[in-house]
Amino acid sequence: MAYTDRITEDAKREIVNILNRIVGVEYRFIVNYPRSIDQMVTIEGVEDQQLTDDLERLGHESGLHLNTCVQLITRLGGTSIWQVQPRDRVIDLEARAEDQLASERLANRLYSEAAEIAEDNPAKSGLLNKLRPSPDAESDPVSRTETIRLLRHMADQELTHERILKDCLATYRALRKTSS
């Protein structure tokens, strides 16, 4: 059986569900990184330009990830669903950073899982599919290859975010010790 460079409809639905989980994670990043900077500088008086720049980078890139997820959800025929949990504005920064680390790992795992689903579910191309294409075949510009590449790239970026956040946490702890 020959396959096309498309993803099965069932796999698309699974990927959309995973991406919707990621949307919530990325949104929390967008909200929490600036809050962390604000709390660190304004409330705790800890100032380090590199640390601030790194946290701003993480927040910015999370915004890009969120936009990419929403666009991919739409291109796969889904609807983005935002399920965001309210968070306290001022909390223990180390606890927030540890929570963010766990969330960066979760985002990496989810992007990787979505890529595996795309890899494992190519759409079949047969005579029947050529004669009777799916109703959304013309509006489905998403190739399986491009989807896998994009999801793997996003997973790799989450690994980079995890490394940066670990460095930020170590810097923050060191600065807290010296300011105490």
Q: Which domain holds residue 117?
A: 2-124+142-179
pTM for the full predicted model: 0.86
Write the single-letter amino acid at 51.
Answer: L
Residue 161 has pLDDT above 80, yes or no: yes
Answer whether residue 131 is part of any domain. no
CATH, residue 76: 1.20.1260.10
pLDDT of 65 reads 96
Answer whether residue 134 is part of any domain. no
| Mean pLDDT value of segment 52-76 | 96
Give 69-112 as a DSSP string: HHHHHHHTT-----------SS--HHHHHHHHHHHHHHHHHHHH
**Distance of alpha carbon 77 from its chain centroid, rounded?**
19
Answer whether residue 88 is part of any domain. yes
Question: How many CB atoms neighbour CB 75 within 10 A?
Answer: 16
Answer whether residue 135 is part of any domain. no
Answer whether residue 162 is part of any domain. yes
In this structure, of 48-62, 73-87, 100-114, 133-147, the range with the lowest mean pLDDT score is 133-147
Task: Write out the two tokens for 174.
Answer: 């060191």
Length of the chain: 180
What does the alpha-carbon distance between residue 180 and residue 178 come to, in Å, rounded to a whole number? 6
Residue that has been written with the tokens 């909200």 in this structure: 31
pLDDT of 177 reads 83
Instruction: Give the count of domains, the chain.
Output: 1
Answer whether residue 129 is part of any domain. no
